[in-house]
Amino acid sequence: MKEPEAPSSLPIEDHGIIGDLHTAALVGMDGAIDFLCAPRFDSPSIFARILDQEKGGAFALYPDIPEPRRKQLYLPDTNILLTRFLSSDGIAEISDFMTIGPREPNGRQTLVRRAKAVHGHIRFRMRCAPRFDYGRVGPRIEIVDGGAVLRPSQGKGPVLRLHTEQEVREEDGAVVAEFELEGDAATAIVLEILDGDATPEASADPRYVTRTFKKTADYWRDWTARSAYQGRWREMVHRSALTLKLLSYRPEGSIVAAPTFGLPETLGGSRNWDYRFTWIRDASFTLYALIRLGLIEEAGDFMNWIRRRCMEMKESGALQIMYGIDGRTDLTEETLDHLAGYRGSSPVRIGNGAYDHIQLDIYGELMDSIYLYDKFGERVAHDFWNEVVGMVDWVCENWQRPDTGIWEVRGGPQEFLHSRVMSWVAVDRGIRLANKRSLPYPEREWKEARNRIYRDIFENFWHAEREVFTQVRGGSALDASALLMPLVRFISPTDPRWLSTLRAIEAELMDDSLVYRYREEGAASDGLEGIEGTFSMCSFWFTECVSRAGDPAKARFLFDKTLGYANHLGLYAEELGIGGEHLGNFPQALTHIALISAAFEIDRRLDETAG
């Protein structure tokens, strides 16, 4: 009988995520870790098989069982992942987690993999094949007592120390092993990631594995227990919260938009971006979601990161739309032409060429977060308020400028509805905060600017014939970002103009419960070829709008249907393709933020109607 092989080219959605608040790894249902950048989210990849089966590198661990049924699940209220393989020959289980606790890793991080024979006599295979520097550098391997040491064969990079009780050997640029387990027996394989001259501390000793397992599980359960949410869909809301927590970079308080790069928005297309950075927009929305969950500490960490960016702000008062997780400003984009890309989708990009775009909406999202944090967290400090005043002054002077918009179009700047609405939000929240705290500000200038923006939107973005708010000034196309208009309280959710826009979005941008961000025909050009899928965050925005418009029963129906498109673990990529496949970087913060917000709103409205 032919020996089974570990499957390759798994769909994006056939993965779970584990992490340690410094980086994150994707674990496939085949038992392979096929994406990991280390030691940080934005470091070069060590494993990237999801982007290139031959050159990317992977850490495979799987049972030698012909055609098993596979299941993945998280231990409740944790980010500890179990992958099970079931067949008539027996049941095998792999547990995966990255150790985490109250301390920083001090130059070392640990990924623990535990193989177990639940039933039967199971033969396992292990193959650890790192490819450093985005697949450009192979490993130099040294077999040592209790495992192996793997270093980049050239240049700099982290050192990997593999700890295992099993006998290992070097084979074709990898450390491999085969071993057998039976009768509830288990063994651990521990990969320690050493930065610089740090010395190994981990081991495959069962006591070490048990201790770190308990410490990690306790950390995640204690964190989840702090959530104030007790409503419907609690498990999905908390899974989204746990995912957002995994996307945070603890040393700085920043939050990445997604832990991956290069996963395509269109199969075979060129929309393959690097999301391992902190967008002001995404992180501000994350802060909003954390505040709603009662997780004020994390919101405070991000606000401190924002304060530092504001203190470094250009003299003009302008912010970049995104930064490195450590606050760096140069995110120059380049292509990795040696990588084939996920299912042939190339080029694979690192860095992000949109970092120097002008996107006026970020100021509204940021000011809304500052306003909410002042209300529920910590009052704004004097020096920070001075920076905020400079930022709002800049918005008052620049709100009419064309920009690249929320979708970061590369077809040239235009005047976008969403940017105009969020400029209004920036000024409005500045006024509200100043009045609430009796803070000094140029009252007349700000109020005049707020009124001018408001009138401009109704005069230049309202299409009287179609009875809709349009994507761009003077245009006719719809854009799903308009769904944020009532959510940020620019317009009443029951205003006749808004309701007619909502009906048009449902008729033109919606398939079943899924919403496209816009239709390519007639919309602002993004300068790229290819057909997009539906955007999951837009789908959740729509359900929230329906609930606010007074129909929570319909909103619940649509929300439940949209939940059904999550992967088996409750995770979402950025988009869904025509067959329901997940597309884009994974998992994406904005989608999980929108899920949390919609769940809060619909749950509250249902309680009101039931009462």
Residue-level pLDDT at 300: 86
Mean pLDDT calculated for residue range 7-25: 90
Q: 268 in the Ramachandran plot: left (φ > 0), alpha (ψ -120 to 50) or beta?
A: left
Quick one: pLDDT band at residue 3, thresholds 50, 70, 90? very low
With beta carbons less than 8 A apart as the criterion, state whether 98 and 111 touch: yes
Mean pLDDT calculated for residue range 205-222: 93
What is the H or E stretch that residue 193 is in?
strand 186-194
pLDDT per position as a tens digit, 137-176: 999 999 999 999 999 999 989 999 999 999 999 999 999 9
Residue-level pLDDT at 107: 65
Q: pTM here?
A: 0.95
| Domain map (residue ranges) of the chain | 15-211, 228-610
Mean pLDDT calculated for residue range 359-364: 93
CATH code of domain 228-610: 1.50.10.10
Q: In the chain, what percentage of residues exceed pLDDT 90?
A: 80
Distance CA 55, CA 448 (A): 58
Backbone angles phi, psi at 350, to 5 degrees: -125, 155
Strand partners for 582: 576
Alpha helices in 438-535 (DSSP H): 443-460, 484-487, 496-508
Instruction: Give the orientation angle of helix 361-376 with respect to helix 296-311, to 10 degrees.
Output: 130
Quick one: pLDDT band at residue 528, thresholds 50, 70, 90? low
What is the H or E stretch that residue 463 is in?
strand 462-463
Distance CA 546, CA 567 (A): 24
What is the rounded average pLDDT for all residues in the chain? 92
Please give the DSSP secondary-structure letter assigned to residue 137.
B
pLDDT per position as a tens digit, 102-123: 555 566 899 999 999 999 999 9
CATH code of domain 15-211: 2.70.98.10
Alpha helices in 399-442 (DSSP H): 417-437
Distance CA 404, CA 424 (A): 17
Contacts of 549 (CB under 8 A, 6+ apart): 486, 493, 494, 498, 499, 502
Q: How many CB atoms lie within 10 A of CB 176?
A: 16
